[in-house]
Amino acid sequence: MTNATLPDVYQEYLDALLESGLLIASGVPGVYGKGQVFEDILDRVNRGAAESGRDLQAEVLSFPPVLNKKLLEKTGYLQSFPHLTGTVHSFFGNEHDHAAVLDEVAAGEAWTARFSSTDVVLCPASCYPVYPYATGTLPVGGRTIDVQSYCFRHEPSGDPARLQSFRMHEFVRLGLPDDVQAFRDMWLDRGQVYLKALGLDVRAEVANDPFFGRGGKILAESQRGQALKFELVVPICSTERPTALVSCNYHQDHFAQKFDIKTSDGECAHSACVGFGLERITLALFKTHGLTPATWPVEVRRTLGL
């Protein structure tokens, strides 16, 4: 759905978030600062997500918002999602080139044309840096990793829940196919339990990623046909088009092949991940329960430790 076709309710919710200081406009759709109340709720949502997986005794990692560019080349992300990618460029020129850049800035011209690609890109999903990290042979029983980072997807939108820059908390499982699928299915349940405890009207749906181009339609159908991706969706600005707050993905051997991750038996491992969209869950809470956490239902406040 393009901006032009978004019903008024999206803009109305965004306006309310900006007026209340929960979000702060940047002049770019999908890029917002956050006020203290928003951040406090997001922190609590994040701690709750971590708590949902505490018994897994996962290894806990955190990555910066930029990744090695080679990692994106290797994963196949550029094949599937070139339109969402963010590459990072900088200025490598001399003082003469610099003067030209400043002239272009002053004239309102495209000064970035003089910038060249650096070795980094923006991280598209928190689990990406986990796969090269896990290269090698897994211990018996596989490996479970808890990981978070800021993610970027180039999809400017007037929907306040479709951010270009957002935080994702993921649990990643690497191991035997059966273990990995059981992990994905377990999180379909745990995710719903958590979102229900937050008073959200959640349901699980088979889903697909937004693959690029005509070939992408075939990839999307294949992903749905094999039920590799599930989303836990909650109405924010629309009941007909609810928003995915959590996604549960079974990658088969896609990442393990590319990064040479083997089970303790020497077979190619499989992987799955579950991602909690922290801004989206927070935005669903403010839409469902109102802009003032002090007035939220007692059970929701208790879940969040408020």
HEC-encoded secondary structure of 190-241: HHHHHHHHCCCCCEEEECCCCCCHHHHHHHHHHHHHCCCEEEEEECCCCCCC
**Least distance in angstroms from the C-beta of 77 to a second copy:** 10
For the segment 18-37, give every residue that binds a second copy (CB under 8 A): 24, 26-28, 31-36
9 binds a second copy (CB under 8 A): no
- Which residues partner with 260 through β-bridges? none
The residue written with tokens 């181009």 in the block is: 213
- Which residues partner with 143 through β-bridges? 174
Cα–Cα distance for residue pair 28/157, rounded to 1 Å: 9
Cα–Cα distance for residue pair 161/29, rounded to 1 Å: 11
90 binds a second copy (CB under 8 A): yes
Residue 18 CB-density burial (10 A; 0-12 exposed, 13-18 middle, 19+ buried): middle
One-letter identity of residue 304: L
214 binds a second copy (CB under 8 A): yes
Of 10, 63, 194, 286, the one binding a second copy (CB under 8 A) is 63
176 binds a second copy (CB under 8 A): no
Of 3, 87, 137, 222, the one binding a second copy (CB under 8 A) is 87
258 binds a second copy (CB under 8 A): no
Cα–Cα distance for residue pair 71/135, rounded to 1 Å: 13
**Least distance in angstroms from the C-beta of 193 to a second copy:** 25
Both tokens assigned to 188: 């379909």
240 binds a second copy (CB under 8 A): no
Contact characters 123-152, a second copy, x per CB under 8 A: ------x--xx----------------x-x
Instruction: Give the angle 70-226-256 at the CA atoms, nearest 5°.
Output: 30
For the segment 259-298, give every residue that binds a second copy (CB under 8 A): none
What is the separation of C-alpha 268 from the centre of its chain, rounded to a whole number of angstroms?
26
The nearer residue to a second copy, 31 or 197, going by C-beta atoms, is 31
The nearer residue to a second copy, 86 or 175, going by C-beta atoms, is 86
Contact 103, 52 (CB under 8 A): no
171 binds a second copy (CB under 8 A): no
66 binds a second copy (CB under 8 A): yes
Contact 6, 159 (CB under 8 A): yes
**Least distance in angstroms from the C-beta of 227 to a second copy:** 27
**Least distance in angstroms from the C-beta of 230 to a second copy:** 27
Of 9, 15, 98, 203, the one binding a second copy (CB under 8 A) is 98
Of 143, 154, 262, 289, the one binding a second copy (CB under 8 A) is 154
Q: Please name which of 237, 258, 214 lies closest in space to residue 6, comparing C-alpha atoms.
A: 237
Contact 39, 135 (CB under 8 A): no
- The footprint of a second copy (CB under 8 A) covers 24, 26-28, 31-36, 39, 59-71, 73, 78-79, 82-93, 95, 98, 101-102, 105, 110-113, 115-120, 122, 129, 132-133, 150, 152, 154, 156, 163-166, 212-215
